Amino acid sequence: MKSIFSKRAIFSDVEKQKIAAAILKAEKITSGRIVTVIAEQSGDYMAPSLALSIAVSFAVPLVLWLFSPVKSFIELWLCQAAVFMLLESLLHFSGLELLLVPSSVKKKAASRHAYEQFYKLGLHTMKNRAAVLLFVSLKEHYAEIIADIGIGKNAEPETWRRIIDKFILDIKTATPAQGFVNAIEECAAVLAPHFPYDSEQAEYSADVIED
């Protein structure tokens, strides 16, 4: 499940510690694994800004030729190159290039990145298939929860839907950190009856993963 959420800078160390503490608490009642990933940006969106910069820079020589005293090929070429570099730099370094990207493209890139993280972290290899990934991509304003197949077989769809919807709502209306904490606590409560704590289970890092 995914959604756009309120714009937010980065997570402070205190917020990260709060999320990590919630994961450690969850690990005391369930053998399911809960992982949090925060990505600054999920995709590379240079194409739209590059296309705009090229289009504008190609138009500049024509405008100058028609409406200014500049007629030299070298001068026109230098103006074209300068406009291209300035516009592309402005769009890229200011973050305005994201405004040129359709929301559907950003959502698709963020969702793909979430699943890449799920498999990169080996969450699909857990023996009980009870791993949960809570993922947020900041620049795309996007949140998603991915649960492995073991959870889907044991948790009611309505229950899981409620957790996902509340996670997205908390991300949008409260602080993202508190949204993570709330979702971790609710995930643990759902996992515990089906995947109870195992004293012999492997210990995993509870740190927030920044990508």
| DSSP code for 209 | E
142-147/2-4 β-pairing: antiparallel
Q: What is the CATH number of domain 2-43+102-210?
A: 3.10.310.50
Q: At 157, give phi and psi (nearest 5°).
A: -55, -40
Among 109, 168, 100, 161, which residue's Cα sits nearest to residue 134? 168
pLDDT of residue 5: 42
Beta strands in the chain (DSSP E): 2-4, 33-39, 131-137, 142-147, 209-210
Q: What residue spans define the domains of the chain?
A: 2-43+102-210, 46-100
For every one of its 211 residues, what pLDDT tens digit does the chain have, with 9 covering 90 and above?
343 344 444 678 888 889 999 999 998 898 888 999 988 888 877 776 777 777 877 888 778 777 777 777 787 778 878 877 887 777 677 677 777 778 888 899 999 999 999 999 888 888 888 889 999 888 888 888 888 888 877 777 788 788 888 888 887 776 778 889 999 999 999 888 888 887 766 667 666 777 6
Distances from the Cα of 134 to the Cα of 89, 91, 164, 192, 194, angstroms: 33, 30, 10, 17, 20
Look up the pTM and report it: 0.76
Count Cβ atoms within 10 A of the Cβ of residue 102 and give its class: 0-12 exposed, 13-18 middle, 19 or more buried.
Answer: exposed
pLDDT of residue 205: 64
pLDDT of residue 2: 40
